[in-house]
Amino acid sequence: MYDPTSRPGPTVLTVTGPAPGRTPGRGSGRATGGAPGRPRGLWSDAWHDLRRNPVFVVSALMIAFLVVISLWPGLITTHSPYDCDLADSQGGASPGHPFGFTTQGCDVYTRTVHGARASVAVGVCATVGTALLGAAVGGLAGFSGGWADAVLSRIGDVFFGIPVILGGLVLLSVVENGSLWSVVGLIVLLGWPQTARIARGAVITAKQNDYVLAARALGASGPRTLLRHIAPNAVAPVIVVATVSIGTCIALEATLSYIGVGLRPPTVSWGIDISEASDQVRNAPHMLLWPAGALSATVLAFIMLGDAVRDALDPRLRRGGRT
């Protein structure tokens, strides 16, 4: 990895006067591990920090596990989530069925594992959609300013003002197909203004930097300024919010499924299972405990990941100064 072309060598000074006091390559930044002077961008600096953050490592491992079982649930299950026998209805833990059975006599362990897929799919798709739409609208609003900004911001405010649960009850009961895409669509529709506000703020902050002015002074076009100078410096807060919001989206999917307008059976989802278990909580608490526990752990993992990413990307925490 060591790059010989960037070895801190003697500064070639062609003007009179003493050489700059500070060692080239260290800048004014904090002392970093690894070879001094090795070129490292802010992204790789962030990655360098993340790898050493136990919160990140734990949450990343949890998420990796979750992603693997949602892609290949067969890896750790032997039964089918639809392989149910009413004779086992609400039965407790038994050999081969460690989490017990649902009212329908389905294996709770199998259903919990298979339920991860719906949650992860909704969480990731809704977040990607929200981030893309929000960043595009917010970035455009912040970059153009003026009346375009006013119009886009007001449109965002309209959607921002709709409570998600109310909007979900109304819109999803109209659609009434209970598909994954309708839930994703709803979350994106009602969730983008939050990302847009953050993206707009970040773009306005980045726009005021002298390097944007410098690019314009060189004759750079609007798209070039936006894509090469503003966007890379405004994307960090959007990424942080997106990471945290994966957890929120997963919880939201469960909530919508619980109140009966989100995903519907035969789809297997934690929200549906929690909904079914909730009226049997006294008879069979295990039916509620496992899917709810899985949901909480997943949401927690994504929020922890978001926190770690924010700490690594926030320049004010990073360098204690102007960067």
Could you tell me the smallest distance in angstroms from the CB atom of residue 253 to other proteins? 35
| Ramachandran class of 25: left when φ > 0, alpha when ψ lies in -120 to 50, beta otherwise | left
Nearer to other proteins, 37 or 265 (CB): 37
DSSP bridge pairs for 101: 107
Told to check if 219 binds other proteins by CB under 8 A, we report yes
Could you tell me the smallest distance in angstroms from the CB atom of residue 210 to other proteins? 4
Nearer to other proteins, 48 or 286 (CB): 48
Could you tell me the smallest distance in angstroms from the CB atom of residue 193 to other proteins? 19
Size of the site for other proteins (CB under 8 A): 48
Please classify residue 229 by burial: count the beta carbons closer than 10 Å to its beta carbon, then call 0-12 exposed, 13-18 middle and 19+ buried. buried
Long-range contacts formed by 235-238: CB under 8 A, 24+ apart: 235/135, 235/202, 236/202, 236/313, 236/314, 236/315, 237/198, 237/199, 237/201, 237/202, 237/313, 238/131, 238/134, 238/135, 238/195, 238/198, 238/199, 238/202
Could you tell me the smallest distance in angstroms from the CB atom of residue 151 to other proteins? 11
Nearer to other proteins, 59 or 233 (CB): 233
270, 256 Cβ separation under 8 angstroms: no
Told to check if 12 binds other proteins by CB under 8 A, we report yes
Question: Which among 61-69, 163-171, 221-229, 284-292 is the span making contact with other proteins, rule CB under 8 A?
Answer: 221-229
Nearer to other proteins, 40 or 264 (CB): 40
187 Cβ contact list (under 8 Å, min separation 6): 122, 126, 129, 130, 164, 249, 252, 253
Site string for other proteins, 13-52 (x = CB under 8 A): xxxxxx-xxx-xxxxxx-------x-xxxx----------
Judged by the rule CB under 8 A, the positions of this chain that interact with other proteins are 3, 5-7, 9-18, 20-22, 24-29, 37, 39-42, 150, 209-211, 213-220, 224, 228-229, 232-233, 319, 322-323
